[in-house]
Amino acid sequence: MAFLLPLRGSIQFQRWKFRAAAKDYKMALNDAEGKSAAPKECGFLLTELGFAEVFCLKPREGKQKIEDGLKLMFQGPSSPGFLVRVLRKHAISSMVNFDFQGARASAKAALKIAEDAQLYDQLQPLKRIITMVRSA
């Protein structure tokens, strides 16, 4: 049943129940670490937890978790779609932390991956982020 925690966390997040989402992601991460899951899986869960924490008014802690999760995801072969979404979340958390240079770097890296992997649905949101941080 623990494998459903990330899904429930995503549903909670979409319903703006950020604390509940963070709790679900934390439980899923603890379960994955306890089972010695692959680094990319733990990294993904860490990024989800971090993004939820940004919305729980813990922007620095959330951004740090996203960065730590990204490092784990880049260790193993993660899918381009997951990497693009996580880099976009890093860009958003960077903006919240007034790190506009970091936001731009993450958005540009995500845009490159999205273009190379032909993830056309991801291009416009990333271009909007780049435009926003260019003007900041």
pLDDT tens, position by position, for the chain (136 residues)? 678 999 999 999 999 999 999 999 999 999 999 998 899 999 999 999 999 999 999 999 999 999 999 999 998 788 999 999 999 999 999 999 999 999 999 999 999 999 999 999 999 999 999 999 987 6
What pLDDT score was predicted for residue 2? 74
Phi, psi (degrees; rounded to nearest 5) at 118: 55, 45
Q: Longest Cα pair distance anywhere in the chain, in angstroms?
A: 46
Residues ≥6 apart with Cβ < 8 Å to 109: 87
What pLDDT score was predicted for residue 1? 66
- Whole-model pTM above 0.75? yes
Domain extents in the chain: 1-78, 79-136
What pLDDT score was predicted for residue 42? 94
| Spatial separation of the C-alpha atoms in residues 104 and 56, rounded to whole Å | 23
CATH 3.40.50.980 fits 1-78, yes or no: no
Nearest in space to 136 (alpha carbons), one of 110, 98, 108: 98
Both tokens assigned to 24: 């679900």
**Cα-atom radius of gyration of the chain, to the nearest Å?**
14
What pLDDT score was predicted for residue 27? 97
What pLDDT score was predicted for residue 77? 83
Phi, psi (degrees; rounded to nearest 5) at 38: -60, 145
Element (H, E) at 115: helix 100-116
| Spatial separation of the C-alpha atoms in residues 21 and 11, rounded to whole Å | 8
